[in-house]
Chains A and B, each alone.
Chain A
């Protein structure tokens, strides 16, 4: 089987770049004019959003999408570029959440310190998991990483001195100030911004940093080594790419990003409680769905996927009233959170169903995700232009 496990999700070699672009151009930070424009628009959008959006609901939703994007970028590096599939990603988010609760809210560590703590601990645990990826490959690794979910949820429930046990622990007091800039209470361009707006900026700044890290990695030597491992790990080893070094590095970096995202998410929620293992599994599946729908093997795919799929549960909950459909023949509403109405699905159930269906549909019809659509449009555009 040439091309490895993820062959179907990645562009074939000849379609990867339009014929006229050189290898050097593809390797730039922003490889094309289109990419430069989109990146500039993205940055402008992030800056403007909290200033013009009055509704706290949308700020929270988009801020959460940012935290999802940070974690998705991590998984994108691990899976999309290094070919190692993990269902343990959610476990690292949980780790990050408890770290900010303990060190940030509990001990009063400043923002950079608890962020660094989350990243470092995530990286260490990820590096410990990495060696398993040397022993287990492909579908085996998928199941072995499930073990992470079980171990982390178990620890979260039982190490009460650290996690607060079943009652969980508050993250509300975690400091959000960076020097003179307090994300919990900031002002920008003459606007006073509340905590949610501050968190929006914080999470999207971290999206920018993570995206830079991933993009710079994948266009340099370590990234090419990881992609060689993804495409055929044994062949890569034979030509001198150390599987051990790069697989462990990929796990460490991706877990650090997931842990940072978890810390941010927990701060946004103001508290953290232990999840059921099944809920953690579903969360992990969500990240897999995000990077597949966005498009594997691209950096922007993870961000776009997180923007589209990350806020889905919140959106379903908010707009459920518009889905006022009564199922014919049963007389029960399709989606509702009013238990008395005997709905077919609660809002959270319905968003799980949507995730499942989106994942299956993307796999069946558009395995290269949104990035694949963009790619084919670009190829059509450039070939027409050169005619």
Chain B
């Protein structure tokens, strides 16, 4: 039972990471209907910038975090203005391909700027852990779950009640109709990219602190595991992103902990999210909490 609780906690915490990355996907999907492959690049860039501001230049961690979130929001808006805005009104597939191109570039830019290997990001909670009975709670995991929950609540309120959030949902549905209703499609895009890039900073910091603070340009790889989380939960649902993230986190951790999968080879947990996604999608193509759509000829 203790082992189960421990794994449960660890799975939910890992799911929190996926959820944080997936929330970034969802906000862009909700405004433009496109997947942002560059989100993983944002996660990496964000984590490295917090290292630069906080650990390297010695700013207080929280100040560094806020500054980097603002800076990344600006980066997101800049990229949106540069390469995404010209695609307003074009098929979303074009946007998807452009984000693939951005991913290639961002990843290499991070490698170019931070060349030394073995950089370590220091966070206030460090490697702290608390003992709850037999279960160990790592503070990094706690912060991950808290920030995922807070951001989820903020997203919910934003898309449900704010004018901008509603406008973004309308834009995703039909850009022309939204524009006809006086919603600025460009502004919706800009806001969504800013928010996605800022959320990526939180995801990056939590991801790195979970791994003990070690930075590597490959951490954006997690975004590829967060894709299944988003799709599993339902593309247009922030709650679904968190649900999908937690499910995939649990599946990964539980399959490591319980299944004797040695015959499947090492690192099978890397494949688990994708297999789970494909299985769920075959059953419910719109995801667990996604909106079912009817297509007309």
Interface residues of A (CB under 8 A from B): 1, 4-8, 85, 132, 135-136, 138-140, 142-144, 146-147, 150-151, 154-155, 157-159, 232, 234-235, 238, 277-278, 281-282, 285, 288-289, 292, 342, 344-345, 349-350, 352-353, 355-360, 363-364, 367
Contact = CB atoms under 8 A, between A and B. Distances in A.
A136 B285 CA distance: 7
Contacts of B98: 359-360, 363-364
Contact of B297 (A5, A232, A281, A356): A232
Nearest to A346: B111
A85 B271 contact: no
Contacts of A158: 264-266
A235 B227 CA distance: 30
Interface stretch (B141-149, B199-207, B274-282): B274-282
A342 B231 CA distance: 40
Given A235-B297, A288-B97, A146 B224 contact: yes
Contact of A159 (B33, B87, B265): B265
A363 B97 contact: yes
Contacts of A5: 91, 93
B179 interface: no
B227 A285 contact: no
A344 B112 contact: yes
A349 B297 contact: no
Contacts of A350: 108
A158 B87 CA distance: 42
Interface of B: 33-35, 83, 86-87, 90-94, 96-98, 100-105, 107-109, 111-112, 115, 218, 221, 224, 227-228, 231, 264-268, 270-271, 274-275, 277-278, 281-282, 285, 295-297
A317 to B, nearest CB: 15
Most buried by A among B90, B97, B102, B271: B97
A143 B35 contact: yes
Given A146-B227, A234-B297, A292 B105 contact: no
A345 B112 contact: yes
B272 to A, nearest CB: 9
B100 A285 contact: yes
B105 A367 contact: no
A146 B278 CA distance: 10
B97 A135 contact: no
A350 B83 CA distance: 20
Contact of A157 (B33, B97, B108, B265): B265
